[in-house]
């Protein structure tokens, strides 16, 4: 692994009205180019906080984050983020939403249009360019968010529970589509989820977080061949292992 992304001693404490909240402490994490890494944890253990910091949208309170050896100082051209609630602009068509990140980076109009078309086709949205977000299903809106993130040809896609609000069938379909895109584009993916099955289906490695303050409690390689079968013995064994690691207190771990 080449250490494309390096987090060293990363911590984050938020200063709220009712005092300080230590969201993360002592995060050490390396991810290689092209790796698919899932960040798995119960809600409140700092997954979104870590992703926002890697996206350059929040600043660590302690430690450093480097991408390709360069310490982060704000959003990097190497990464693109996909939000859980799609984060599309409701007053813009699909086409204009997908062009937005390129426009923000000064890509010329004609190139913007062509690249948007390419990524709309890749995400199965060719016929929907002139629609507005409210005219689309939840799954299609997430596809638009993914298309928009891909247009700047990022080295890493940062995804925060992107399929969390979708029905099981749509979610399964988008997981498969995401893997196809990942294999085609060879981008690194950091994917936040609280679903064990989603993590085992998608990831090369699963980083397990424990809460209060958020810390990494385990890193589990998923060495199952792809495409993965959730009913296979290997899949079930890894799901069980992750379930134990995610909530050890629910599994008869010795006290004290």
Residues near ligand ADP (CB under 6 A) are 14, 16, 21, 23, 41, 43-49, 214
106 binds, among ligand ADP, Mg ion, none (CB under 5 to 8 A by kind): none
45 binds, among Mg ion, ligand ADP, none (CB under 5 to 8 A by kind): ligand ADP
> Among residues 49 and 80, whose Cβ is nearest to Mg ion?
49
133 binds, among Mg ion, ligand ADP, none (CB under 5 to 8 A by kind): none
Site for Mg ion (CB under 5 A): how many residues?
1
> Among residues 1 and 57, whose Cβ is nearest to Mg ion?
57
> Among residues 48 and 210, whose Cβ is nearest to Mg ion?
48
Interface pick for Mg ion out of 10, 48, 99, 228 (rule CB under 5 A)? 48
| Phi, psi dihedrals of residue 81, rounded to the nearest 5° | -110, 145
Stretch that binds Mg ion, among 43-51, 66-74, 178-186, 210-218 (CB under 5 A): 43-51
Chain CA centroid to CA 56, Å: 14
3-state helix/strand/coil string of 48-63: HHHHHHHCCCCCCCEE
> Parallel, antiparallel, or unpaired for β 62-67 and 70-71?
antiparallel
CB of 162 to ligand ADP, least distance (A): 13
Rounded-to-integer distance, Cα 233 and Cα 123, Å: 32
Rounded-to-integer distance, Cα 77 and Cα 104, Å: 11
Query: Dihedral angle at the C-alpha atoms of 156, 160, 162, 163, nearest 10 degrees?
Result: 120
> Among residues 166 and 192, whose Cβ is nearest to ligand ADP?
192
CB of 120 to ligand ADP, least distance (A): 29
Q: Token pair for residue 15?
A: 């200063």
> Side-chain half-sphere of 251: how many Cα atoms within 13 Å?
9
CB of 158 to ligand ADP, least distance (A): 13
Q: In what order do the strands lie in the sheet with 5-16?
A: 19-31, 5-16, 62-67, 70-71
> Among residues 1 and 42, whose Cβ is nearest to ligand ADP?
42
Chain residues that interact with Mg ion, rule: CB under 5 A? 48
């Amino acid at each position: 692994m080449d250490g494309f992304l390096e987090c060293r001693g990363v911590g984050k404490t938020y200063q709220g009205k009712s005092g300080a909240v230590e969201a993360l402490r002592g995060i050490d994490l390396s991810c290689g180019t092209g790796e698919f890494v899932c960040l798995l944890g119960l809600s409140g253990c700092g997954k979104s906080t870590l992703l926002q910091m890697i996206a350059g949208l929040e600043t660590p309170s302690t430690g450093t984050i480097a991408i390709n050896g360069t310490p982060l100082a704000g959003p990097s051209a190497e990464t693109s983020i996909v939000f859980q609630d799609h984060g599309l602009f409701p007053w813009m068509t699909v086409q204009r939403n997908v062009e937005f990140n390129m426009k923000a980076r000064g890509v010329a109009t004609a190139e913007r249009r062509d690249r948007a078309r390419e990524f709309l086709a890749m995400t199965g949205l060719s016929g929907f360019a002139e629609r507005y977000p409210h005219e689309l299903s939840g799954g299609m809106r997430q596809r638009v968010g993914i298309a928009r993130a891909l247009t700047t040809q990022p080295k890493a896609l940062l995804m925060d529970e992107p399929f969390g609000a979708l029905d099981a069938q749509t979610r399964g379909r988008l997981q498969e589509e995401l893997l196809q895109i990942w294999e085609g584009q060879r981008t690194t993916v950091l994917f936040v989820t609280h679903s064990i099955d989603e993590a085992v289906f998608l990831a090369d490695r699963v980083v397990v977080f424990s809460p209060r303050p958020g810390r990494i409690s385990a890193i589990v390689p998923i060495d199952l061949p792809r495409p993965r079968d959730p009913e296979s013995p290997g899949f079930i064994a890894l799901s069980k292992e992750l379930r134990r690691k995610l909530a050890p207190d629910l599994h008869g771990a010795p006290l004290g």
